[in-house]
Copies of this chain bind each other. A is one copy, B any other.
Amino acid sequence: MSKRHLCIAITGAGGAGVISCGELLLQAWAHEGGRGLLRKAYGPQIRGGESAALLKLTDDERYTAASHYDLVVALDWDNFSRFEDEIRLGPRSWVLCDEADELPASVLAARPTVLQLPFAELASTCHAEGRVNMLVLGVLGRLLGLPVGSMVELAAQKLARKPQAYRDAATACIEGGASRPMACDLPVPPTAATGACYMSGNQAAGLGALEAGIRFVAAYPITPASDVLEWMAGGLEQLGGQLLQAEDELAAINMAIGAAFGGVPAFTATSGPGLALMTESIGLAVASETPVTILNVMRGGPSTGIPTKSEQSDLNIALNGLHGDAPHLVLAPLDIADCVFTTGWAVQLAQQLQTAAIVLSDQFIGQSTAIVSEPRRYIPATAAPATPAEGAYLRYKLTSSGVSTLAAPGDAGHRFTADGLEHNENGTPSARQSDHQRQLAKRQDKLADFGFGDDWAQVNGSGPLALLCFGSSSAAVNEAADLLAERGSPARVISLRLLAPLQTAALRAAVEGCSAVVVVEQNHSGQLFRYLKGHADFPQAVHSYAMAGPVPLAPEAIAQAVTEMINP
């Protein structure tokens, strides 16, 4: 592979601190100008199960999940075994484990180089309360060439609320670990510029939403979306906004609609089961033309499914889950940094077009943390001065753009009653065909005719083969394209950010000259594939590569499958 990656997995029991170890390692790496991704994996237990810190250090900020690992640190092998599906080793991999351990046959079968250290003994030599995870941090830090002082300081910050002895032990173990040279010559990727951000996709989405003007959030916890809401709670308090914990998702979406009706940009975040509960009222936002943004952080489905793992299987419901003809916006951020941009854009579009926007993030980008260059922001065009109202105020006035003036309570003389019943321009309920058809057309045309600009997708490369994807698959698909290029099949990658309304003309232009299109996505039934076939009228042959979660999409597998599709 041409890219310089270093993939490290640290596995252990739930309480063993492997996640802290991974976080501190990545933070210290960030301070040196490094780039990298941390994915956290847990078992179903809330506490005391298995956990893994899955690190990928790379200088190109293309954060695919690693599938093959260069280095595995197993604090014990029992907990490692729960991740065997995900953590692949090979003959060029290194394994670091306790001296006393006997390695499982499956691991030995991969023929890695094994390094063994007396973990527990070393840790307790460093400090009476010494813990192995900090020792490992020191060892790995040295491998990456990180300054010991930086790791110690970051650990001290993280452990600020712990007793002094605990912190001392951490320092001693980090220093002890860092003092042990490791006979391991793994190539360390070069570092990039400093001045980056260290954030999860969920935090990035929250930041994007607040920057775009969200000042009201209604919240009902659900994995893996709760941490968006938790992060925003703090932010809103500083901004003088409000967060309201709702009794359920039905309340959450309606509270957001209520706040938005009051003129306060409003938001909620959820995952599949919660989105399903919200659809009736998202339809109300569409029909009453009340702006609202819903971030849906996808997890494994259907039903309760696999709550802690990622999948892209809520595309169907996001696009088509509303009853009646209910056109609305659906967007998807392409990576962690793009969560800032796309969520911000969604909020602005929802406000401007007076409709509901669903943002499809997922557990992979939502709950992974990465070091990213300063994320791009959506800069709204300076708003055209509001057209002065002619005659009496008509809330649902038919205009050339389909967008009517939206008053808010407090505005003098613009009183109206918002309604989810079909209505005439004035908002008065009407069952007449003429009113119905006009308002249906208005709500559809205001989206269809809007100029969304160039951000509807990110287009990379220019090969005669088009790989089409949305949201978080983008990184894996771009990496697959690199592999294909190396193998003589250059491909262009079109990563859709705006899924509805689909920019069919731009999309067709983007695939122009391609002999084949392959739609890649992380679900079982090829939801994007079906949607694009239904809407885009590609002249080319269109193929589907759809692979359900929970294991992340693998570039190598995509590249292979695509090769077979185009050379049958």
Measured CB to CB, the residues of A under 8 A from B are 43-44, 85, 250, 272-273, 275-277, 279-280, 283-284, 286-288, 300-309, 311, 313-314, 316-317, 319-327, 419-422, 429, 431-434, 436-437, 440-441, 444, 523-525, 527, 530-531, 533-535, 537, 548-551
Residue contact B283 to A433, C-beta cutoff 8 Å: no
Q: Is the CB of B324 within 8 A of A422?
A: no
Q: By the criterion CB–CB under 8 Å, are B313 and A323 in contact?
A: yes
Can you give 22 contacting A-B residue pairs, CB < 8 Å? Answer: A44-B429, A44-B431, A85-B432, A276-B280, A279-B321, A286-B302, A300-B422, A300-B436, A303-B326, A304-B420, A304-B421, A305-B324, A307-B421, A314-B323, A316-B323, A321-B323, A325-B524, A325-B525, A431-B550, A436-B549, A436-B550, A437-B524
Question: What is the CA–CA distance of A314 and B320 in the complex, to the nearest angstrom?
Answer: 9
Contacts of A533 in B (CB 8 A): 533-535, 537
Task: Return chain B residues, CB-CB under 8 Å to A286.
Answer: 302-303
A549 proximity list for chain B (CB < 8 A): 433, 436
- Which residue from B275, B305, B420 sits with its C-beta under 8 Å from A421? B305
Chain B nearest Cβ from A251, distance in angstroms = 13
Nearest Cβ on chain B to A424's Cβ, whole angstroms: 12
Task: Give the residue name and chain of the B residue nearest to A278 (CB).
Answer: B276
> Which of A286, A321, A323, A550 has the most chain B CB atoms closer than 10 A to its own CB?
A323
Contact between B305 and A287 (Cβ–Cβ < 8 Å)? yes
Beta-carbon contact of A548 and B305 below 8 Å: no
CB of B433 within 8 A of CB of A85, answer yes
The answer for the CA separation of A370 and B317 in the assembled complex, in Å, is 36
User: Which B residues lie within 8 Å of A527 (CB)?
Assistant: 325
Set B302, B434, B440: member contacting A524, Cβ < 8 A: B440
Chain B residues contacting A276 (CB-CB under 8 Å) are 279-280, 283, 321-323
- The 8 Å CB contact of A303, one of B288, B311, B320, B434, is B288
Asked if residues A302 and B277 are in contact (CB atoms below 8 Å), the reply is no
- What chain B residues lie within 8 Å of A280 (beta carbons)? 273, 276-277, 303
Say which residue of B43, B302, B325, B534 sits within 8 Å of A287 (CB atoms): B302
Q: Report whether A324 and B320 are in contact in the complex, using a CB–CB cutoff of 8 Å.
A: no
Q: How far in angstroms is the closest Cβ of chain B from A212?
A: 25
B437 contacts A306, C-beta separation under 8 Å: no
Q: In whole angstroms, how far apart are the Cα atoms of A421 and B303 in the complex?
A: 7
A170 to B439, CA, bound (A): 45
CB distance from A481 to the nearest CB of B (A): 24
Q: Residues of B contacting A301 with CB < 8 Å? A: 283, 323-326
Judging by beta carbons under 8 Å apart, are A302 and B283 in contact? yes
Chain B residues, Cβ within 8 Å of A43: 431
Pick from B284, B305, B311, B319: contact of A320, CB below 8 A: B319
Beta-carbon contact of A305 and B530 below 8 Å: no
Task: Identify 8 new A-B residue pairs, CB closer than 8 A, beyond the known A44-B429, A276-B321, A276-B322.
Answer: A276-B283, A280-B303, A288-B303, A306-B422, A325-B523, A325-B548, A433-B548, A436-B549
Q: Residue of B at shortest CB range from A277?
A: B280
Task: Tell me how far the C-beta of A300 lies from the nearest C-beta in chain B, rounded to whole angstroms.
Answer: 6
> Contacts of A422 on B, CB cut-off 8 Å?
300, 305-306
Bound-state CA distance A206–B471 (Å) is 44
Cross-chain contact B319 with A324 (CB below 8 angstroms): no
The complex places the Cα of A319 from the Cα of B531 at a distance, in Å, of 12
Closest beta carbon of chain B to A133's beta carbon, Å:
24
Of B303, B431, B525, B551, the residue contacting A420 (CB under 8 A) is: B303
**A323 and B431 in contact, given A440-B548, A524-B441, A533-B534 (Cβ under 8 angstroms):** no
Q: How far is the CA of A300 from the CA of B444 in the complex (A)?
A: 16
| A279-B317, A283-B302, A444-B524 as given contacts; A324 in contact with B272, CB under 8 Å | yes
CB-CB nearest in chain B for A419: B304
Please give, as numbers and ranges, the residues of chain B lying within 8 Å of A324 by CB-CB distance: 272, 300-303, 305, 311, 313-314
Name which residue of chain B comes closest to A535, CB basis. B530
Distance (Å) between the CB of A557 and the closest chain B CB? 12
Question: For A531, what are the chain B residues with a Cβ–Cβ distance below 8 Å?
Answer: 534
In the complex, chain B residues whose CB is within 8 Å of the CB of A436: 300, 306, 548-550
| Docked pose: A47 CA to B203 CA in angstroms | 54
Contact of A431 with B300 at beta-carbon distance under 8 Å, contacts A422-B305, A550-B436 already known: yes
- The chain B residue sitting closest to A323, CB to CB, is B272
Which residue, of A277, A280, A527, has the highest number of chain B Cβ atoms within 10 A?
A280
* A434 to B86 CA separation, bound complex (whole angstroms): 11
Query: What is the bound-complex CA distance between A549 and B288, given in angstroms?
Result: 19
Residues of chain B with a CB closer than 8 A to A307's CB:
421
Instruction: Tell me which of B303, B320, B440 contacts A321 (CB under 8 A).
Output: B320
Inter-chain contact A326/B306, CB cutoff 8 Å: no
CB contacts (< 8 Å) of A327 on chain B: these are 525
By the criterion CB–CB under 8 Å, are A433 and B317 in contact?
A: no
Judging by beta carbons under 8 Å apart, are A317 and B316 in contact? no
Q: What is the minimal beta-carbon distance from A276 to any residue of chain B, in angstroms?
A: 4
Are A323's CB and B302's CB within 8 A? yes
The smallest C-beta distance from A143 to any residue of chain B, in angstroms, reads 30
A351 to B275, CA, bound (A): 28
